[in-house]
Amino acid sequence: MKLFEITHRDPAGAARTGILHLRGERIETPVFMPVGTRATVKAMLPDEVARIGYRLILGNTFHLELRPGSRLIERLGGLHRFMNWPHAILTDSGGFQVYSLAPMRKLTEAGAEFRSPYDGQRIHLTPEEAIAIQHRLGSDIVMAFDECLDFNAPADAVRAALERTLRWLDRCRAAHAPRAGRAHLFGIVQGHFDAALRAESARRTVERDLPGYAIGGLSVGEPEPLMLEMLEAAVAHLPADRPRYAMGIGLPLNLIDMAARGVDMFDCVVPTRNARNGRVYTFAGIRSIKQNQFAEDPAPLEADCPCSACRHYSRAYLRHLYQCNEILSSRLLTEHNLTFFWRLMDRIRSAIRAGGLRGLRAELAAAYAAPEDAAAGGDAPDPSGPCRERSQ
């Protein structure tokens, strides 16, 4: 069966809805993937994540190879069985760690040599090994090994990274070929913050005729308008009949803006990490549950939200849990944030089908325009800065 089918196109723009066919399931797009770096979506049981509606999550090659090791996971039946997640899994190749762990790695044409952030042990990750690890994990979508650069990288490094990413992609394709019928290899577009290089990278990546394409190297410190400009430069050269994946993007308005530009897949740690820090997403804006204004508030976080936190507990109780550093706080706030992101993606898909994506964007922008918990002097809502991280 074909991996991806488009079910609706917005006649007034580039947005579309579709279906990913993975593990016998139909996954509606645009889709947000919760991040499960180390074979767990933090604070959540796998069946709780599935109950919200998710059928596709993300794992990380680099971290899982360090602990507990892909060979152990393979011996125990693969990542799906190991973490009791019968649904689809996409694994990041470890290419992002080339950027995020720059002080602990040495880069060569062969690959990247890292020092483990856990015990200092040396690890050599090549394109071939990145694919082999993902095969041992049993990933449904396998990401190519790429070189991601910092926002302030010099021009000569940008061209070199683009060329190296393409050479590594060819090595990934060769390593993946024996498993091509059982897993889908996605290439990654780089090109940093040069529109011409983004377009070139996209065109040359598409020449490899892959099942899907990711746009990498965004949300690494750049301003939002530049991020969207680079996304557009890449998407313009990606085939319409293949899924497009914006890696590490997850702020609510970014999801709408990128879906409007024809992106189908997203992932980010925003809902899970921010929940553990008391930051709650709602359609009325962002709340900081630690604020004093909630100390005696009997209302739910969001009246129409179906999550356990909203159905059974008050803001006052949730604030109490957070203030006392109770584990239940992380569980309930994470469930709420993941539920919000699921509902947001559902609304995005409905808005695309109804031609109302611009209206949804305006509604959410108005709700998020004021500082969060303004009456209590809370922090401003999330800027467009980096949310891309593979360690939850």
Instruction: Just list the catalytic residues.
Output: 92, 267
Cα–Cα distance, 177 to 165 (Å, whole number): 18
Tokens of 234: 């890449």
**Cα dihedral across residues 102, 276, 372, 50: positive or negative:** positive
Q: Which amino acid is at 139?
A: S
Measured CA to CA, the distance from residue 44 to residue 250 in angstroms comes to: 19
Closest CA to 159 of 191, 127, 184, 136: 191
Dist. CA 345–CA 314, nearest whole Å: 25
Report the alpha-carbon distance of residue 41 to residue 228 in Å, rounded: 28
Please give the full DSSP string across 197-212, using - where no structure is assigned.
HHHHHHHHHHTT--SE
The full 3-state SS of 75-118, as one line of letters, equals HCCCHHHHCCCCCEEEEECCHHHHHHCHHHEEECCCCEEEECCC
| DSSP state letters, 117-153 | TTT--EEEE-HHHHHHHHHHHT-SEEEPP-----TT-
φ, ψ dihedrals at 216, nearest 5°? -105, 180
Determine phi and psi for 186, rounding to 5 degrees: -105, 135
Alpha-helical (H) ranges within the chain are 46-52, 61-66, 70-75, 79-82, 95-100, 127-137, 155-176, 195-206, 224-235, 252-260, 270-276, 308-312, 315-323, 327-354, 357-369
Name, in order, each residue with C-beta under 8 angstroms of 123's C-beta and a sequence gap of 6 or more. 65, 66, 113, 114, 115, 116
Q: Which amino acid is at 59?
A: G
365, 366, 372, 376 alpha-carbon torsion, rounded to 10°: 170
